[in-house]
Homo-oligomer: A and B are copies of this chain.
């Protein structure tokens, strides 16, 4: 896949210039210096020799065929260059040239045009407005970045060319190797999703690191990312969280779900590790590329100074990693071999005068302990410290089944040792908390890999009934599904809805109430009134016919004054829901990633504390329970403060059935069950109020 792009035999460079510093010159020079073994076909209108190679004034003159064409000419000549590349049977094209989408609508037009020329010819395009690509395995530097990295296990996909340069500069400075580097630019054709798939299958790539400012197709990205993460770690730095903001939405759920929450939910689903910032992207990438994935989250710390050991322990505890003491027999055997002042707890303090052997001994013991899944080795340069020797001792005693990460603190004194560590495939960090953060990323990935198989339960439901309600709304041009019909839909998906009926008159209301039995709730039913209580349209706990009659008349009086133009369907008379814990279950569709389910405790917990969790639908029973566990207020459901525990399984099942509903009916754009009254274990939760918004329903002109 994308063989012609990544492993071309013949590469054309259109715009190969004689002038050093010009992009077309640099690309050709990079191809030459990186030692590309295939054929190069430089094209230059002047037809002069460039860097010792004969050039063609036009690719048409070249008699052979090319696999890959790299285009670096002013954007007005790009289309012609693409056409001549296609004529030369290029199967992949890199458009380096800028002046497209990034400069405004005219550029976007040009971009569409060149993308469609390529797509019609079945040719894949990287760019435009990109740095190019590097494939160390193929000695291919088809970019204008001046540095060619050494081969290594990290592949990078970057939406910013400038950051590619910074990354290459960092990699060469640290002596870290790369597999492939792909600058995806404006992503007119090839994008992050394509490369996730390619790199997942690439044997040279051990870990995929992505810098993204946007994601082109949410659903495809999700699938490709999950498939890739099942094979190897995928770490993504997604920037632009601050500008994302919260989209306008009429449901509670919608108003709480910003784009950043959707990215979080999507990454969690797909097993993508989210990097906090630029440094952590590469901190994690180094750890993943050099060390095995831990099987748990218990770490041992080895240090030659107390302070940094405490720093590591603080960072571990704050991030949820665990630090357990060594088993007594191992601790004792280590104690016997270390000076008396050494500490064999955890952190293991090998003391300021520790030599490489002492580190080696401690590392052996830490790796042997069943209670240790990963080791952080810390060194501070002290009078007797042999930093390079310690680096070698770590490598020598590393067994390779548990990850070992190093923190050699300081500058000059540890520089050689840090280079040695990298060369020995031991990831090294300037401070303990960064090592711990990288380890935390590994533990999170490991937990995702070990997650139970995702089996989405399908509940027996009555789809036809839902279809009928939706069809009715489509016919009448009402995108808003009010309480009565939302409850009809939910009942079809096996939610318990209190008995109730619409009443057109006070008499009818009384007769319904008598039939259902008191106490009774009454609510106005009108497509024009969303916030019923604001209009005096809700009366609760009515206990006799007189109260029902009074409530009906009062409601009609108030509505006629406050909303004289509202169309009134009647008053909904229903059994009063039993007291219980108020829950909100909701759904909103993210434009990128589709249906996102929300869970939260009702009222202030949602509105003031914003204590809610989101998960992409469809969800499994386990994921539904994780949504409950993810809230701070979970303790209340479990029965804090002497209150009875509520039926957690019934909430989880409600979330799963909503998941099924919104997957079955993509027309449902937003949904709130608020409140969902949940009682003690064994009692069915009650849909006390609900509403939905349908998409694709044309609002009728009034």
Interface residues, chain A, CB within 8 Å of chain B? Answer: 21, 23, 26, 102-103, 144, 146-147, 159-163, 165-166, 169-174, 211, 213, 239-243, 277-279, 304-308, 310-311, 313-318, 341, 352, 380-384, 409-415, 430-434, 603-604, 607-611, 632-633, 635-636, 640-641
Contacts and interface: CB of A to CB of B under 8 A. Distances in A.
Contacts of A410: 165-166, 169-170, 173
Given A278-B432, A304-B162, A608-B636, A313 B242 contact: yes
| Copies of this chain held together in the complex | 2
Nearest to A603: B641
A610 to B, nearest CB: 8
Contacts of A147: 412
Contact of A160 (B159, B305, B433): B305
Contact of A430 (B160, B279, B314): B279
Contact of A352 (B162, B169, B277, B382): B162
Most chain B beta carbons < 10 A, residue from A410, A433, A603, A610: A410
Nearest to A410: B169
Nearest to A533: B642
A536 B383 CA distance: 67
B305 A162 contact: yes
Contacts of A318: 241-242
B103 A412 contact: no
B412 A172 contact: yes
A240 B162 contact: no
A402 to B, nearest CB: 22
A433 B213 contact: no
Nearest first, the 3 closest Cβ-Cβ pairs linking A and B are A173-B411, A162-B305, A169-B410
A110 to B, nearest CB: 14
A681 to B, nearest CB: 20
A632 B609 CA distance: 6
A205 B608 CA distance: 46
Most buried by B among A23, A160, A633, A636: A160
Contacts of A381: 165-166, 169
Contacts of A172: 411-412
Contacts of A635: 608
A641 B409 CA distance: 52
Contacts of A313: 242-243
A304 B146 CA distance: 18
Main secondary structure of the interface of A (DSSP, over half): helix
A383 B239 CA distance: 24
B383 A242 contact: no
A172 B163 CA distance: 28
Contacts of A170: 409-411
Given A239-B314, A607-B641, A21 B383 contact: yes
Nearest to A436: B277
A162 B604 contact: no
Interface centre among A161, A383, A607, A610 (most CB of B within 10 A): A383
B278 A165 contact: no
Contacts of A633: 604, 608-609
B413 A311 contact: no
Contacts of A171: 411
B173 A307 contact: no
Nearest to A175: B411
A554 B27 CA distance: 92
Contacts of A306: 160, 162, 213
Contact of A307 (B160, B242, B641): B160
Given A165-B381, A242-B317, A641-B603, A431 B307 contact: no
A187 to B, nearest CB: 14
A636 to B, nearest CB: 5
Contacts of A310: 213, 239-240, 242-243
Nearest to A430: B279
Given A173-B411, A305-B160, A414-B169, A277 B603 contact: no
A411 B174 contact: yes
A27 to B, nearest CB: 11
Contacts of A174: 411
A603 B433 CA distance: 36
A103 B162 CA distance: 53
A175 to B, nearest CB: 10
Contacts of A434: 279
22 contacts: A21-B383, A26-B383, A102-B341, A144-B383, A146-B413, A159-B307, A161-B352, A162-B307, A165-B380, A166-B410, A169-B381, A169-B410, A169-B414, A278-B432, A279-B430, A279-B431, A279-B434, A608-B632, A608-B633, A608-B636, A608-B641, A610-B632
Contacts of A211: 307
Contacts of A307: 159-160, 162-163, 211, 213, 239
A17 to B, nearest CB: 12
Contacts of A414: 169
A278 B380 contact: no
Contacts of A241: 314, 317-318
A380 to B, nearest CB: 4
Given A21-B384, A632-B608, A308 B411 contact: no
A591 B167 CA distance: 49
Nearest to A608: B635
Contacts of A411: 169-174
Contacts of A26: 383
Contacts of A317: 241-242
Nearest to A641: B607
B162 A412 contact: no
A314 B242 contact: yes
Given A146-B383, A162-B380, A169-B412, 15 more contacts: A23-B383, A103-B341, A160-B305, A161-B382, A162-B304, A165-B381, A211-B307, A213-B306, A239-B310, A239-B311, A240-B310, A241-B317, A242-B316, A243-B313, A277-B431
Contact of A162 (B160, B213, B308, B316): B308
A145 to B, nearest CB: 9
Given A161-B352, A174-B411, A277 B315 contact: yes
Interface centre among A144, A316, A609, A636 (most CB of B within 10 A): A609
**Which among A381, A610, A641 has the greatest number of chain B C-beta atoms within 10 A?**
A381
B383 A308 contact: no
A317 B260 CA distance: 13
A411 B149 CA distance: 13
Nearest to A237: B311
